[in-house]
Amino acid sequence: MNENIMICVYCKQDKKPSNEHVISKSVLQAVFGVKIRNISGSSLFSKQLLVDHEQTICDVCEKCNSLLTKYDESGALLVSEIDRYYDLTSKAISFNTLKLGWLLKTHLNFLRMIPRKDTHEFYEFESILLTQIKEYIPIDFTFFSLLLNGWKGKDYFWKEDDERKISYFSYKSIEFPNQRIVVSNLRIKALDTFIFFPSDCNYDSFKSRCSSTHEQMLFELEIFPEQIDVEQAILEGKINIASIIPFQ
Ligand SMILES: [Zn+2]
């Protein structure tokens, strides 16, 4: 097998891979500046975090990668807006289909990169979502559930010279085996974003499985993000951040 050829996850054709940044390069640049690639000498990040920030994934061809740039531009706008605050209490974040597309694309990038903890297999997901993203056709909101949780953060959380600072982006996925749901969780500074997908790509009773997962998050994990009506948020052009995690 030629290692320079792979099947592109977007167009399903045998192609040469490009380096798709897991978190768009334009988003990293919007937050960290154009010198992101040379930041290793900076005290801002430990080496480990730097690697995480620069992570790329090699299952997207150059052509599809270039078709996705509109999302990267919108992602940069979204993240720049989030970047203005460390406390999201009473804040609203502008939202539209391109910002949703960027968020979904980024979560799906992570989901393709981080396998299940137990079997080390990757989660399957509905590939129609990737087609809808790539073709810029309306995204089917029934294929996922979006939940958000803002933080009442402290300014020192992200102060580069403070010992108590935490990472700017953080990602994890949590499987709920009873509901057959995988919760993909990407935190961008003070905004925790959760996207629920079926862990087995099966959409039977997906809505009620999501509600049950949401309840389990509250009672067992004591996190209670608010479910977002995506259609309404796009109509209004914004999301009011209603659920806030306080920090003492
Ligand atoms: Zn492709």
Rounded to whole angstroms, how far apart are CA atoms 102 and 72?
6
153-201 tens-digit pLDDT: 999 998 878 888 888 888 889 999 999 999 999 999 999 999 999 999 9
Coil vs helix vs strand at 69: helix
pLDDT recorded at residue 54: 66
* Rounded distance from Cα 103 to ligand 1 centre (Å): 19
Other beta carbons within 10 Å of 220: 9
Mean predicted lDDT score pLDDT of the chain = 88
Give the total residue count for the chain.
Answer: 248
Q: What percentage of the chain has pLDDT greater than the value 70?
A: 90
- The average pLDDT across 46-66 equals 72
* Rounded distance from Cα 53 to ligand 1 centre (Å): 23
* Rounded distance from Cα 134 to ligand 1 centre (Å): 9
pLDDT recorded at residue 118: 84
* Rounded distance from Cα 37 to ligand 1 centre (Å): 25
pLDDT recorded at residue 3: 60
Domain borders along the chain are 6-246
- The average pLDDT across 9-28 equals 90
* Rounded distance from Cα 67 to ligand 1 centre (Å): 9
Rounded to whole angstroms, how far apart are CA atoms 113 and 88?
29
Q: Is pLDDT above 60 for 17? A: yes
pLDDT recorded at residue 2: 55
Q: Is pLDDT above 90 for 38? A: no
* Rounded distance from Cα 12 to ligand 1 centre (Å): 6
Question: Among 78, 59, 70, which Cα is nearest to 21's?
Answer: 59
Rounded to whole angstroms, how far apart are CA atoms 203 and 116?
19
* End-to-end CA separation in angstroms for the chain: 55
